[in-house]
Copies of this chain bind each other. A is one copy, B any other.
Amino acid sequence: MVPKRPAIKRVTIQQVAEAAGVNRSTVSRVFNNPDILLEETVRNVREVARKLGYSPNAAARALRTGRNSNIALVVPDLTNPFMPPIALAVQKEAAARGYSVFIGNADENPNQEMDLLKRLSDQVGGAVLVSPRSDSEQIHALASDMPLVLINRDIKEVPRVLIDSGQGMAQAVRHLAQLGHRRVTYVGGPENSWSNSQRCAAVTHAAHEHGISMSTLPAGTASFVRGVEIVPALLSCGATACIAFDDVLAQGICYGLVENELEIPEDYSVIGCDDILGYPMLTTVSGPAAKAGQIAVDLLMSSLNTPSEEDVRIVLETEFVSRDTVGPPKYR
């Protein structure tokens, strides 16, 4: 199980010290606290270190200090196109601050989520969890073990950044209402997804406000095939337009609709969410996913340095984007 081949022999602080004619601690200071040293010493040691190709051993440093420069990023499903932009932003922001990122895919599974974090816990300073599916209690427990930042999950006392679909969904429903739609269906995504509940609630609220009737159809999984499959059930809802949990699901619905000889948007209007697809030009609700990732890392970094006492809850707004998949209803 444990590999036999030893890691490549690396240059140690001792070798640098000898070559530079100083003590190990001086070399250490050059890298950790150069200000208290003579400028010349620093320059000299740096030069020697560079020549020898020295770089501090992370394991030794971590062992000695009890700290490290890694964070974990755990997502429910990397292949969901909503994730990569966030992962990218997280990795970029972390790198800019000298941190490296472990990636973990939880397979939409709370247990795997916890297992991953447990496995990683002693190698990271903290973690960013995107749309975690675990119970609030488990997440709370975890948060007492290591700094955590959540994306799209609203748990009190745990720092979180939320992409609030409320505004975008409201605009979407208003748009539909103005075009004359009188009945819409919300096609739901994963059961235990905060975003799903939030979007559903937002649509419900907005529909009520505009006096249009609304039904809910849970798709469970937000996948292309699931979208295709659900079209018959969707049509039997009797609405003239639907708002899907996300773009992937909406895309599947579009395909299923077309397969059923219906034209979009002439016969049926479809609205997605997340704004992550190139094609079709889906009318959708767009949110700042990358920004959320970046902010999450910022928050994590601050709580690494000085655990905040306040309850941090950052809310990011969304907006409706009108494209090709919405039109007036066929029969008014």
Contacts and interface: CB of A to CB of B under 8 A. Distances in A.
A300 to B, nearest CB: 10
A10 interface: yes
Interface string A235-269: 00000000000001001101100000000000000
B92 A7 contact: no
A224 B276 CA distance: 12
Nearest to A77: B88
Given A63-B63, A84-B84, A305-B5, A103 B103 contact: yes
A145 B10 CA distance: 9
Interface stretch (A54-62, A177-185, A188-196): A54-62
Contact of A5 (B6, B120, B304): B304
Nearest to A254: B279
Interface residues of A, number: 70
Contacts of A1: 97-98
Interface in A36-73: 55, 57-60, 62-63, 65-70, 73
A104 interface: yes
Contacts of A92: 105
A152 interface: no
Given A100-B120, A103-B101, A255-B278, A125 B7 contact: yes
A68 B79 contact: no
A279 B254 CA distance: 9
Contact of A83 (B2, B6, B84, B125): B84
B224 A59 contact: no
Instruction: Give me the 4 closest cross-chain CB pairs, A-B, nearest first.
Output: A224-B278, A59-B62, A103-B103, A3-B304
18 contacts: A1-B98, A2-B67, A3-B301, A3-B304, A3-B305, A5-B303, A8-B146, A55-B118, A59-B68, A63-B63, A73-B103, A81-B84, A87-B103, A91-B103, A91-B104, A102-B102, A255-B279, A279-B279
